[in-house]
Amino acid sequence: MKNLKTKIFEADNIHTILLRKAVKEQIIITTRTRIARNISGFRFNSISSNKEKKDIANIIKDVFFSAFSGKNYAFYNISRLSETQRRFLLEKHILSPEMVLQLYGKSLILKLNPSCQDKVVSIMINEEDHLRIQSTMPGLSVYKTYSDVLKLEKIFEKKLGFCFNNDFGYLTSCLTNVGTSLRVSIISHLPAVVASGRIDDFVKNLKKINCSIRGFFGENSEVIGNLFQVSNQVSLGKNEKQILDEMHAVCLNIIDAEKDAVRYLKKTRPAVVEDSIFRSYGMLKYAKMLCYGESLELLSMIKLGQILGILVNLKSFNFYQLISLLGESNIIMGVKNKIDLNDKNNKADKIEKIRAEIIRKKIFKDLNNNV
């Protein structure tokens, strides 16, 4: 019996070590899990009127105040937020792009987590579906994020009836989400896979096993900074556990692929890659203005240089933490000497200037001697 226990413990241990390594090496940057629910008796948001949207928001608000009062949750009307705040939530992936287009009736419930700011549990109201419950955590944590989502769903389930059908499971306004309506999306940073030219095969293989691959900002977005969003395509015909298990396995494979590519690059040291890393180093060191996309591309190469051991004279930095500082709204909200939001030309210039400064401070050790 003792033996068995220690064995289980060891297996657990290996698992956690692997996870920690993945976080440390920052291959899987974040895991996001979401489910969609529609309240029965209402039309879906694809065609619902403003009045219906308002009613839905009110119903959910009532449930929120009866069930969540006193806990660390907050309710926001999206239309009452400022544009910068909305942009901030969008950049943090808390709101989807659709949430900031037509604001009527759209609301957000957010779990406030002062101790751990990276973990975000939120509910989008009146997006494509009436309720979209999602949880985001740094690193690989497929199961944890799902359990967060499920906890919230159960609270709502006690008070609301959801659209459900014996054949198709939970009904959603888009046919691609029916069934469990569970979507696990991970954002992975794969500079070595890209630099070693393996990305095409990599994407093909993922598509073969029904995963969809997108850019950093989800649907229709470009790939920037070697960041890939990978998510499950199938939500019907499998139960939640199967989907979670599969996505977890996919993540472990992604980690393996990136590590393998790193080994390959360490061994061969292609001149093109090295050149590109040093060019990025130079650009970041001496550039006075940087736009968001460019800074992500450059930082990604610098990070690769660090992983490969080519660039040693740098501070060790957390790629995801750094890039999350670089969003436009984040810079506007964080600056002491305020940026004049009405002065459009100067605003963009000033933001780019501050962005370049932030990066220099975070990654270069001997800043004063060189700049």
Partner 1 sequence: MFCEFCKINEANVHLIKVVNDNIEKLNLCVDCLKNINFFPEEDFFNDLTKILSKIFEVDIKIIDKSENSKLFDFSNGVENKKCSFCGIDLNTIKAIGKVGCANCYREFKDVFIPIIKAIHGSTEHRGRIPLQSSKKIKIENELKDLKYRLKEEITVENFEEAARLRDTIKKLQKKLYLVKKMK
What residue ranges bind partner 1 (CB under 8 A)? 38, 40, 42-44, 46-47, 128, 154, 157-158, 161-176, 178-180, 182, 210, 233-240, 242
Q: 207 — phi, psi (to 5°)?
A: -70, -35
Query: Cα–Cα distance between 293 and 302 in angstroms, integer?
Result: 14
Distance CA 214, CA 222 (A): 7
* Closer of 84 and 205 to partner 1 (Cβ): 205
User: Hey, is 161 helix, strand or coil?
Assistant: coil
The neighbour count for residue 204, using CB atoms within 10 Å, is 10
Minimum CB separation from partner 1 for residue 39, in Å?
A: 10
Neighbours of 87 (CB within 10 A): 19
Taking the least distance from each CB to partner 1, the nearer of 66 and 242 is 242
In Å, how far from its chain's centre is CA 113? 17
Q: How far is the CB of 248 from partner 1 (least distance, A)?
A: 17
From the number of C-beta atoms within 10 Å of its C-beta (0-12, 13-18, 19+), residue 179 rates as buried
Least Å from the CB of residue 42 to partner 1: 7
Contact call for residues 228 and 190 (beta carbons, < 8 A): yes
Closer residue to partner 1 (CB): 21 or 159: 159
The CA distances from residue 152 to 35, 149, 242, 316, in Å, are: 10, 5, 21, 37
When the beta carbons of 2 and 154 are compared against partner 1, the nearer one is 154
Q: What is the phi/psi pair of residue 181, to 5°? A: 55, 20
Min. distance of Cβ 50 from partner 1 in angstroms?
Answer: 16
Tokens read off for 337: 């000497």
| Minimum CB distance to partner 1, residue 135 (Å) | 16
CB nearer partner 1, residue 37 or residue 350: 37
Cβ proximity to partner 1, 246 vs 258, nearer residue: 246
Least Å from the CB of residue 181 to partner 1: 9
Task: Indicate the SS3 state at residue 120.
Answer: strand
Closer to partner 1 at the Cβ: 47 or 271? Answer: 47
Minimum Å gap between C-beta 133 and partner 1 is: 13
- Estimate the crossing angle of helix 292-308 against helix 240-268, to 10 degrees: 70
Nearer to partner 1 (CB atom), residue 14 or residue 209? 209
Minimum CB separation of residue 185 from partner 1 in Å reads 17
- Read off φ and ψ for residue 301, nearest 5 degrees: -65, -40
Helix residue ranges, H only, the chain:
2-25, 50-68, 83-91, 142-159, 191-195, 199-208, 240-268, 271-286, 292-308, 319-325, 328-334, 344-363, 367-370
19 or 234: CB nearest partner 1: 234
Residues in the chain: 371
Shortest separation between residue 31's beta carbon and partner 1, angstroms? 19
